Amino acid sequence: MDFDFDFDLDLLANLADMVAIPIGLYGLYLVLNQLKVGQQESEKEHQRRQNEMTLNAYNIVRGDLRETIRRVRKKLELEDMFDEFKEGHLDKIMSDKELRDDVAKMLGFLNKFAVGIKYDVFNVDLVNDLAGKLFIKTYKQFKPYIHLVRKDSNTFYIEYEKLVMNLMEMQEHSGLK
């Protein structure tokens, strides 16, 4: 018994296509899934690095920042961040070069954190947890000074101000006010 198989090449090609399409789609699914997993891992690594950078920067700056804040508040006779800033305080800052330099240094530190957050170097949630209240209260206390120096340039401490508005909103939503 001889069997004569006449293979139709078109039929064979169609069968091959029918098998190849599901395999190709499954391969595409695997590639897309792997890309998604890779992206998630990359985002986690970025978050970890960002948190580490935030903690390191805060720990490095914290001592100097707190010492500068203490010096400024002592010279202005402000007991803490809740004391009201008065017109006489502004005059005292403007007439005392050392005090003015300390205020600029203090606000400069805070503004640098704000710029770091703007450019996604620092984590705003972590900054909020570490020192959100300090950032907000210091801004409110020294707002008259900030507005005065903005007469020279309307961009002075602008990122700090934006950060404070963001922190206030975050704290309002979390009930931390």
Q: Which of 83, 138, 148 is nearest to 105 (CA)?
A: 138
The pLDDT averaged over each successive group of 10 residues in the chain (177 residues) is 58 80 87 87 85 84 86 89 85 94 94 92 92 92 93 92 96 76
For the chain, domain boundaries: 50-174
How many CA atoms lie within 13 Å of 43's alpha carbon, on the beta-carbon side?
A: 6
Question: How many alpha carbons lie under 13 Å from residue 100 in its C-beta half-sphere?
Answer: 10
SS3 track for the chain? CCCCCCCCHHHHHHHHHHHHHHHHHHHHHHHHHHHHHHHHHHHHHHHHHHHHHHHHHHHHHHHHHHHHHHHHHHHHCCCCCCCCCCHHHHHHHHHCHHHHHHHHHHHHHHHHHHHHHHCCCCCHHHHHHHHHHHHHHHHHHHHHHHHHHCCCCCCCCHHHHHHHHHHHHHHHHHCCC
Contacting residues for 136 by C-beta, under 8 A, at least 6 apart? 164, 167, 168, 171
CA distance 155 to 40: 36
Q: Which long-range contacts (CB under 8 A, 24 or more apart) does 23-30 make?
A: none
Global confidence as pTM: 0.73
